[in-house]
Amino acid sequence: MTSQATRARTPERPTPEPYIGEPFLHSHQPVRVLLIIGSTRQGRFGPVPSAWAVEQARMRDDVELEVIDLAELSLPMVLPGDDYAAPLPESVTEFARRIEAADAVVVVTPVYNRGYPASLKNAIDWVYDEWAATPVGFISYGGRTGGIEAVEQLRAVFVELNTMTIRKVLTFPNFWEHFTDHGVATNPDAMARAATGFYDQLTWWARALRTARNRST
Ligand SMILES: Cc1cc2nc3c(=O)[nH]c(=O)nc-3n(C[C@H](O)[C@H](O)[C@H](O)COP(=O)(O)O)c2cc1C
């Protein structure tokens, strides 16, 4: 048994080996990751850590990454009524299609008043079934806390959607210290190591859940 005290002193255990001994870990099919830029504010910082995360993913041959920028998608802010047969706006069907097609989602979030931005909640709520059995990873940024409050609130929301939020988070406290004015990483090696761990964990879950989803259909 590992107590919490032991755990604090020992190095982190690697992500568990596949518990069903199946070949999904060795699948050569890349993991389709959808990265969502969650802030839509004018002059926002969000595209900077997003571009860095995209670049990190593109260095891997086990990830195929696409980006959705909520500022460009312009989802309506008013949710529909209870008539499920009513047509949905094209931006919504497009968003739902891309969530469904993804093996994993990365949410890039700032912290606004100790929470996550309304633009993200609106987007999350437009889609339901398509989220199920999808691993979700977070990249956050903000002042002293790096936006971890936003991440913990998002975890609670994503439970309801039957997603699997991964433990590793890429967090940028005092975000202006991590990137130059031109968006270049100020500590590229350490940041790249963190990104590797993050994508390793995300892709592990993505393969596991892809296998599970394929089996249940
Ligand atoms: C409405 C609002 C509330 C904010 N609240 C917090 C906060 O509670 N904690 C914090 O560290 N930073 C806070 N900030 C600072 C943001 O983290 C910072 O402005 C960041 O750049 C916002 O992301 P964005 O530029 O992509 O919109 C807040 C910013 C805004 C616009």
* Atom number, ligand 1, closest to the C-alpha of residue 145: 11
Token pair recorded at residue 182: 């031109």
> What is the position in ligand 1's atom list of the atom closest to the CA of 147?
11
Res 21: pLDDT: 44
Calculate the average pLDDT of the chain.
91
146-163 residue pLDDT tens: 999 999 999 999 999 999
Burial class (CB in 10 A: 0-12, 13-18, 19+), 13: exposed
Residue 78: inside a domain, yes or no? Answer: no
CATH number of the domain within which 206 lies: 3.40.50.360
Q: Is the pLDDT assigned to residue 22 strictly greater than 60? A: no
Range 72-101 average pLDDT: 94
> Is residue 104 very low, low, confident or very high in pLDDT (cuts 50, 70, 90)?
very high
pLDDT band per the 50, 70, 90 thresholds, residue 20: very low
Residues with a CB atom less than 6 Å from ligand 1: 39, 41, 44-46, 110-114, 142-143, 145
* The pair of three-digit structure tokens given for residue 150, joined into one six-digit string: 């936003």
pLDDT at 84: 84
**Of the residues 52, 111, 140, which should be mutated to test ligand 1's pocket, given the most ligand atoms within 8 Å of the CB?**
111
Residue-level pLDDT at 23: 44
Q: What 3-state DSSP class applies to 124?
A: helix
Confidence of residue 9 (pLDDT cuts 50, 70, 90): low
| Number of folded domains that form the chain | 1
In a domain, 8, yes or no: no
Q: What is the sign of the dihedral through the CA atoms of 130, 17, 33 and 174?
A: positive
Q: Determine the distance separating the centroid of ligand 1 and the alpha carbon of 77, expressed in angstroms.
A: 21
pLDDT (mean) for 46-75: 97
- Pairing, β 164-172 against β 135-141: parallel
- The answer to whether 100 and 128 are in contact (CB under 8 A) is no
Phi/psi at 136 (5° precision): -125, 130
Cα separation of 215 and 217, whole Å? 6
Position with higher pLDDT, 136 vs 14? 136
In a domain, 157, yes or no: yes
* Low-confidence winner among 11-15, 26-30, 53-57, 212-216 (lowest mean pLDDT): 11-15
Structural domain of residue 100, as residue ranges?
30-73+90-215
Q: What is the mean pLDDT of residues 139-151?
A: 98
Q: How far apart are CA 216 and CA 208, in angstroms?
A: 13
